[in-house]
Amino acid sequence: MGFYEILSNMFSALADPMLLLYLAAGVFLGIYIGAIPGLSVTMAVSLLISFTYSWDVLPAMAAMVGVQIGGVYGGSRSAILLNIPGAPAAVATALDGYPLAQKGEAGKAIGVTVTQSVLGGVIGALVLAVGAPVIANFALSFAPRDYFLLALMGLMLVGSLGNESASRGIFAAALGLFVGFIGLDMVTGQQRFTFGNVYLMGGVNYVVVMIGLFGMSEALLQLRDLTTQPVKQDVGKIIPGWKSILKYIPLSLRTSLIGVIVGALPGTGGDIAALISYDHAKRTVKNPEVPFGQGAIEGLVAPESANNAAIGGAYIPMLTLGIPGDAVTAIVIGAMYIHGLKPGPMLMVESADVFWFLVGAVLFGNVFLLIFGFTGIKLFAKIVEVPKYILMPTIIILSVVGAYTINNSIMDIYWMMGFGILGYILKIYKVPVGPVILGVILSSLIEQNFRRGISTTGNNLFRFIEDLVSHPISLVLLVVILFMALSQSSLWKKIRKKKDVA
């Protein structure tokens, strides 16, 4: 497919002005949601699923993509102004953004983050447009066992990254898988772990789990400390000159590519992309004007271009393989299933319009980001000052309404509350909740493909293993998984340490 054809596909998908409006509204909302500490993009998108339940596919997806793009950028605003990253992807942004704000240069910092986010986002969208069809084509030759391995890979990465111990992450993922088993078995139709309960027969709705784990529990967690007071900031001139944008182009190209690749790996998203890029900038930029950590512009360029590029990256495995690239895309996959779409290699064949619409939405979302990113900064400074005693009860109400609207069932509210309290306790005791939700969502994909894969071998485990090592695609995936498992083991870390010392 030629470049011109790709471009025209993306543009034609967005010819409807109403859809553009939904996308724009999503970006706008996303910026504010992402910017308010305690309101995460994951939470926003999961709440959005329940509210867009009855909408048509395209407006719902437009709003969701918009919120995601706006939200990932929005997190940087509170990182700069308050030193509170509004989203995990903005953790690295705070390292140099806040020192700039302390010097009264918050406006400059915000200007850099907007332009870099847009640049990264556009690069991500282009890579998505070019790369996704190739990968989807390739993925058509995937057997069930390969999907099983891919889903396993997704689970493994999330289970072990960014947590204090791999065992806790993997436990959380397994717990999520188990929750996903509850209900009627898809193959035999028999009840599993329902204890005869009618409500459980339909399975635990993962949107309910999501709202509980991310919305309700986060609100409760924020209420533990009511004393943190917002700091007031002045924001003046924000639009950076062409010279300063061009100056950082080489770095932003490198970090955008890092962002796309990290985003495309199953289980890793903008937060990790941002941290890796920050580290990359720190190692490769020898003489920054200001040292890193004290307000280096490079320290903003790298994470901000990377985390928005990671969105396009994360959509590659999501649209072509049906594997989430991070927690947010996991939720978007959930939304696609709700609307009767099947993310995977057949998506481009069966629903090509939706596929290209999503690619176009990622691209145009960034155009809206460029417009909205420079506006409303003064108003924003006011919104982040909304005290917790008003914000948190409001979030709780939003969670309740969100849980209820899925099936109009009061029972769902109780389940949401139960998962909210569980998530709250898990977070306090440092058991990550992200893997739980990924487990719930990947549960049926991983199990069905395992069962399909093994039944083609006549339920023979040895032949299944033989299949895994004798087919090239399976073998490559298996080696990657083994390498991931090995590199996270304590033995490997010990060897690395010894090498470093030597």
Quick one: 204 or 431, whose CB is closer to another protein? 431
Q: Is 196 in the site for another protein (CB under 8 A)?
A: no
SS (H, E, C) 245-268: HHHCHHHHHHHHHHHHHHHHCCCC
146 touches 480 (CB < 8 A) = no
Count Cβ atoms below 10 Å from residue 141 Cβ, excluding itself: 11
Q: Is 410 in the site for another protein (CB under 8 A)?
A: yes
Please report which helix (H) or strand (E) contains residue 184, including its range.
strand 183-184
Quick one: 344 or 435, whose CB is closer to another protein? 435
Q: Which 3 state secondary structure label does DSSP give 447?
A: helix
What is the C-alpha separation between 162 and 272, in angstroms, rounded? 8
What is the C-alpha separation between 215 and 388, in angstroms, rounded? 14
* Smallest separation, CB 63 to another protein (Å): 10
Q: Which stretch binds another protein (CB under 8 A): 35-43, 343-351, 410-418, 479-487?
A: 410-418
Among 6, 396, 481, 485, which residue interacts with another protein (rule: CB under 8 A)?
396
* Smallest separation, CB 216 to another protein (Å): 8
By CB under 8 A, what part of segment 206-225 binds another protein?
216, 220, 223-224
Among 38, 131, 171, 337, which residue interacts with another protein (rule: CB under 8 A)?
171
Q: To which residue do tokens 């109403």 refer? A: 18
- The 440-479 site mask, x for binding another protein (CB under 8 A), equals ------xx--xxx-xx---xxx--x---------------
* Smallest separation, CB 432 to another protein (Å): 12
Backbone angles phi, psi at 15, to 5 degrees: -70, -25
- What one-letter code names the amino acid at 200? L
Side-chain half-sphere CA neighbours of 261 within 13 A: 8
**Helices 144-160 and 298-321 meet at what angle, rounded to 10?**
150
Query: What single DSSP character describes residue 235?
Result: -
Q: Which 3 state secondary structure label does DSSP give 193?
A: coil
- What one-letter code names the amino acid at 245? I
What is the C-alpha separation between 40 and 269, in angstroms, rounded? 14
Among 1, 201, 226, 476, which residue interacts with another protein (rule: CB under 8 A)?
226
* Smallest separation, CB 151 to another protein (Å): 12
Query: What single DSSP character describes residue 89?
Result: G
Among 79, 91, 175, 321, which residue interacts with another protein (rule: CB under 8 A)?
175
Binding residue count for another protein, defined by CB under 8 A: 63
Query: What single DSSP character describes residue 88?
Result: G
* Smallest separation, CB 401 to another protein (Å): 6
Q: Is 174 in the site for another protein (CB under 8 A)?
A: yes
- Per the DSSP assignment, residues forming a β-bridge with 184 are 191
Among 202, 236, 291, 393, which residue interacts with another protein (rule: CB under 8 A)?
393
Among 185, 350, 353, 385, which residue interacts with another protein (rule: CB under 8 A)?
185
Among 12, 165, 470, 489, which residue interacts with another protein (rule: CB under 8 A)?
165
Among 392, 437, 445, 477, which residue interacts with another protein (rule: CB under 8 A)?
392
- Per the DSSP assignment, residues forming a β-bridge with 191 are 184
* Smallest separation, CB 404 to another protein (Å): 5
By CB under 8 A, what part of segment 351-390 binds another protein?
387-390
* Smallest separation, CB 236 to another protein (Å): 31
204: CB partners within 8 A, 6+ apart: 179, 180, 182, 183, 415, 440
What is the C-alpha separation between 95 and 85, in angstroms, rounded? 10
Side-chain half-sphere CA neighbours of 70 within 13 A: 30
Residue 458 backbone class (left: φ over 0; alpha: ψ -120 to 50; beta: rest): left
By CB under 8 A, what part of segment 18-77 binds another protein?
50-54
Q: To which residue do tokens 């994909």 refer? A: 445
Q: Is 482 in the site for another protein (CB under 8 A)?
A: no
Among 429, 472, 491, 499, which residue interacts with another protein (rule: CB under 8 A)?
429
Quick one: 347 or 431, whose CB is closer to another protein? 431
* Smallest separation, CB 159 to another protein (Å): 9
Length of the chain: 502
Q: Which stretch binds another protein (CB under 8 A): 126-134, 234-242, 270-278, 422-430?
A: 422-430
* Smallest separation, CB 376 to another protein (Å): 18
Q: Is 178 in the site for another protein (CB under 8 A)?
A: yes
Quick one: 355 or 450, whose CB is closer to another protein? 450
SS (H, E, C) 477-502: HHHHHHHHHHHHCHHHHHHHHHHHHC
Residues that bind another protein (CB under 8 A): 50-54, 164-165, 167-168, 170-171, 174-175, 177-178, 181, 185, 187-188, 190, 192-193, 216, 220, 223-224, 226, 387-390, 392-394, 396-398, 400-401, 404-405, 408, 410, 413-414, 417, 421, 425, 428-431, 446-447, 450-452, 454-455, 459-461, 464
